[in-house]
Structure 1
């Protein structure tokens, strides 16, 4: 039985462990943090957006770029810098903003999201998992009818792929989700995707890993940092750690988000990945809290109901590396979230909010990197951007196929 080591225990690494365990491999899941899902999976937007796998690079984003660069858009920040890798990433992002590229990338992401939806159904039938999961649908709020109409082409693409979405007015949407009655601004149109869902990705990882230990004998190493991928005659032979004995393995999977420093130089393609920072709050739900997940396009903030908690997430700061928690940016986000749906969650003190910030590993196309590495036995499953939770199982399935075809 081939031994595989997966570096990174977020949703992508955990999903990869599941698919490779099912394929009959001897899997060890590794993370430098003391437990799983401590990076981008810890407190992200929590929405499983099967009907909204739109690529970030798009004609509309490109048209909006002057406002972003002039800091007139509160949700986005682009910090221009003379870093060759960032410049390459930026140029590739601009290329992927062409309409033809946006459509191709979005189709790819939607197909992978559909695979995750199907696979998650299989997982929930096979395992008893509790992670505040609910298939309650998702609404996208448009302040003008014209803004909604501008997305008609993308909706037709989704319709051709069998994705169901309804266009509602405010009264029709409020009949489904009463929390919209408290939204302070104009709502001209709402796109409602009944099949979308939400759940806690960090709790999913924790409980799923326990079940994989019991069912498949998954091994884990937490709190230990991998220092080097070992090789012999051009093939992976193991992993070296900073403070423990090396681990022998036949295959290694990099599912470590933005951390690519372990990869051989030939696999660190210039401009392939760039960190995009975001923020979230997780606050106690009130009696007026939403049940349906909501995306407020005006403020670029997503809201999800997770049991007795409301998770709000937003902002996309591109170019900051290394990143840090920016109090001014967080306050801008917090104020916007409270302004939009403050009646849905407690926010009288910072203790209520459970503030978090992290970085999402984004490719210029928004397509994850799922491919063999330059060493025989090395594989990449990286670059899921803002859709890691939505794409995790689909990308893991594709990784398992790549490994089967190449190992």
Structure 2
């Protein structure tokens, strides 16, 4: 049977209920017929315009919060790449035939992201069901109007109370984020001088109040012309994860100074992690750099492999010494390590999963994207290379996971 030809534009226009397509900047791209009919705005009055320029908040209602709540929901969908379903919200609309006259409306909105070919949010689907009549519940016998008004008042009061609770939670989360970021900044200082060697470090917190502070980096000066570099990722987010991160980073830094190699340092860290609540399944990667004999000795505890960018632009991943995350095995076991030579002018890159992992794609896709970026920017110094990697690999609207990055010119 021949596959039917579907006119998706016509399907969109005929969808029941109000549906609009907006850019990530919340500018109308298209609306269906019900959207035009119910709002009383012609399609030409909507397309190409910012949503809240078309539908501003009722200036006569000082308690109105519909615009702020709708905007925050849409931006969450853009930032996280996930659907955001709102509670019933009151959002009054100005009568297009009677300027200055506002009609009371209650809505049930859902905001869903549409990803483009680059896996970034390209559009936001804004679907709205009007529930005004349902809330008013008019009709049905004597006295029903008064009962409906009482019900409407009670529902609106409960909705406002819920909004106030959500606002207090949002403020509390924002305060926790500020504390966590301050702690992160204190625990992750810029690296000290590396002699004639160049290095760059970066940390980018995730978007959202609590999605912050699980990742870390560290650089340790060793005897001789040697150096150790490490990155790690604590499971979880928020202030608790920041505290765990600080303990593990300090422990690994101390172990690195006395261990005879990266594997022994991670073994010591694994033993310590068993006594730290919240440290289970933490991943880490560490490498010892010896500039005298031009070798890298490395070990990974469940972490993504460091990347070695060679002077000719080729990239190899240091994946010959990978073991489970910290605390994943019930008994203590020795960890593997491997050694590889490097050429002068090569670049070592350690990173956490926020740089390359995306929910909708295989990990190899992210590693290939990193490889391509490293090859194209192989002539950049560490500072410029770090900036280029973040600019190209992280979503422009922010990522749902935090990211740590270390770049060292060998």
Q: TM-score range by the shorter chain?
A: under 0.3
With CA pairs under 8 Å and 6+ residues apart, which has the higher RCO, 1 or 2? Answer: 1
Q: Which has the larger radius of gyration?
A: 2
TM-score w.r.t. length of structure 1:
0.24
